Structure 1
Amino acid sequence: MSTLTSTSIPAGTEPVRRGPRLSGLNWLVWHQHRAAFWTLIAFTVVAVGWMAYQRGQLTDQLNGIPGWPHPKAGDWEMKVDNSWLTLTGSGLGFIPVVIGVFLGAPLVAGDLENGTAKLVASQSVSRVRWIATKLGITALVVVPLSVVLSVTFNWWWQPVRSRPNILDWTSGTAFDTTGPVPVALTLFTLVGGVAIGMLLRRTLLSMVVTLGFAVAVQLVWSYFRLDLADVVTVTTNSGVGENATPRLPGGAYWVDESYLTANGDLIGWGSCNEATEKATNACLNDKQVIGWSVDYIPFSQMSSMQWFGASILLALTVATTAFILFWGRRRLV
């Protein structure tokens, strides 16, 4: 992108290189966005330190419970303070939005607005290579940091992962901040912001629109999150009295329950919600209710759900990246 001038070096003198160094286009992209990159790195270091400290606090609490790791008291979960775990998980959920708005949207839009893109187009570096380098360097920063945050939060949560009363694994606080999901969400929001910036060509406007896009992604994702699961159904035929409800595996997420009739039909559990117990029993007998049918999602599916969802998000990321490169090649300036 620029002409480099050389200076004479005395014979026998070689420049000292200490470790790998960026050069050329890679150095230019890093230098251009180094403030954002270093901010992300610093935030990650602080966040990891904070979560490591809180992991130690959680471990101390659990070790203070009689019988841990197999406590006999049924109310031991009430003794665990989950406030920081929940608050931190909620905060980590905003990272894809922040990266999309403050890094993705200005990544190319800023160059289009201030004229840098025209300078690039006039140089020997192709527009596709320039955009690919920008995306590549940014991804090389964002992906490892997202992985580190995901692994660290999961490590903090690990001792109580199967206890939904402490942190519900189906919520965004846990599901979207562990495993491959935060990485996939961050990448998709990032490239979505880049695409919006290329189309709108104005930094501030692109950031505002990207904010709406990122929030919409979060809302849609949260709405369809449980659709990634394979719902399991368990039935009983021992009546609907006390203690007749099927026992679900530990950590299972209850989806729905219905009455099971003698001929195998399902009716809503509120169908016999009568004023008196006698009337309720009469209704159950009239409808020939013999037991329960309960739909649930086992905790063991969490990992497969995360990878399935992440694969969808990564496919959308690849498609959006292909559009960015195509558009940048033909209509960048």
Structure 2
Amino acid sequence: MKGSLWLAWRQQRVPAGIGAAALVVAAALAAHFRSGMLDALHSGLFDHCGTGPLYCTRSGTGLPLLLDVEPLKYLGALNIVLPVVIGVFWGAPLLGRDRELGTHRMVLAQGVSRRQWFASRFALAVAATTALSGLLAGVFAWWWRPAADRSYGLFWYDDTALSGSGPRVVAAALFGLAAGTLLGLLARRVLAAMGLTLLTTGVLTLLLEWTHRTRLLVPPHTYVSAGITPKAPMGEKWSTGTYGLITASGRHDDVLNCPYPSGSQLRECMTAHGYVARFYEASPAGDYWAFQWTDTAVLGGLAVLFTVFTVLLLRRRV
């Protein structure tokens, strides 16, 4: 390693070291808590529990019987905020620090081109970010697997599972890096770039969480049961909270038009209003990957777009 790449490593070894230390700590904690989780599952205490959204209860007391998944949720939360942290503390100073101090002029005076100066720093940051985020996502998945989609564990649609695991974590981290790098090039001060990066990455993170809740990018499925036939068990589906009744013409009405759970009253009400079926909206467990790849496409696309803008602005800003 020599030249501009060696200099890039010298400048980025601190954040790289902090990231590596955080990964080691996360892996150690995951191994510890996962071992306790497996011991609890092998004890037989949860053998009578089934899948589904309803809590499993402790025999004799009726109290919910749950695994200790709070530490797992903390790791998921860390993965969710990872693009903010990387963007603010790694992306924003990546070019911004040299521009603010003027040290890039000395590097460019040594015969290094602007694009080479950028490429060496950015490529190293991308490699480290990809490795860190990918391994953190892998640790979460490994820890989560024994408790995945169980009434006593953590369902796939929990915020920390849906947004804190899978390829989305890697795409989000790269987005944070690319956003911070671009804003570091545009801003005159590193602190200003860090503030703008915090705002940009934070807003997009919250916006994507909102699209999950509203099912804006991944529409829910509609499940229909004829007449007063009870709906199939919810199981691992993520309900939207939308239930209703369907007329012979296909019109969907609110469930409160016939607010009876079952029996003759429900049948009489449906007959009187011309309803022939009931429906509810929910996202099946298979939509976990639809959410994952949709978010990955959005975040990865923005990361590429911001990187292209950075390359195009190099000559004007450096």
Q: TM-score, normalised on structure 1?
A: 0.83
2:251 is matched with 265
2:236 is matched with 251
2:222 is matched with 233
Match 2:281 to one of 291, 295, 304: 295
1:36 is matched with 15
* Residue 103 (structure 1) shift: 0.7
- 8 Å CA contact 1:93–1:176 kept in 2: the answer is yes
CA distance in 2, matches of 1:112, 1:25: 16
* Residue 187 (structure 1) shift: 0.4
* Residue 65 (structure 1) shift: 2.8
**In the alignment, residue 294 of structure 1 is paired with which amino acid?**
Y
- 8 Å CA contact 2:91–2:178 kept in 1: the answer is yes
CA distance in 1, matches of 2:295, 2:310: 23
CA distance in 2, matches of 1:261, 1:200: 59
Larger Rg: 1
**In the alignment, residue 25 of structure 1 is paired with which amino acid?**
S
CA distance in 2, matches of 1:72, 1:109: 54
**In the alignment, residue 297 of structure 1 is paired with which amino acid?**
S
**In the alignment, residue 95 of structure 2 is paired with which amino acid?**
V
Q: How does 1:157-168 map to 2 (within 5 A)?
A: 157-163=144-150, 166-168=153-155
> Any stretches of 5+ residues in structure 1 without a counterpart?
1-21
- 8 Å CA contact 1:237–1:260 kept in 2: the answer is no
- For residues 96-141 of structure 1, give each alpha carbon's deviation from its aligned partner in whole angstroms, at most 9, with x where no partner exists: 2111111111111111100012223323111011111111001111
- 8 Å CA contact 1:249–1:298 kept in 2: the answer is no
* Residue 230 (structure 1) shift: 4.8
CA distance in 2, matches of 1:57, 1:235: 41
Match 2:56 to one of 65, 75, 99: 75
Q: How does 1:133-152 map to 2 (within 5 A)?
A: 133-152=120-139
- When structure 1 is superposed on structure 2, of 212-221 and 262-271 the one drifting more is 262-271
**In the alignment, residue 99 of structure 2 is paired with which amino acid?**
L
- 8 Å CA contact 1:111–1:117 kept in 2: the answer is yes
- 8 Å CA contact 2:80–2:164 kept in 1: the answer is yes
CA distance in 2, matches of 1:199, 1:227: 32
Query: Does residue 286 of the first structure (1) align with residue 272 of the second (2)?
Result: yes
CA distance in 1, matches of 2:192, 2:250: 58
CA distance in 1, matches of 2:108, 2:199: 31
- When structure 1 is superposed on structure 2, of 85-94 and 292-301 the one drifting more is 85-94
**In the alignment, residue 183 of structure 2 is paired with which amino acid?**
I
Supply the RMSD in Å over aligned alpha carbons. Answer: 2.5
CA distance in 2, matches of 1:78, 1:45: 31
* Residue 33 (structure 1) shift: 1.8
**In the alignment, residue 216 of structure 2 is paired with which amino acid?**
D
- 8 Å CA contact 1:66–1:72 kept in 2: the answer is no
Query: Does residue 116 of the first structure (1) align with residue 103 of the second (2)?
Result: yes
- Report the identity percentage: 29
> Any stretches of 5+ residues in structure 2 without a counterpart?
58-63
1:105 is matched with 92
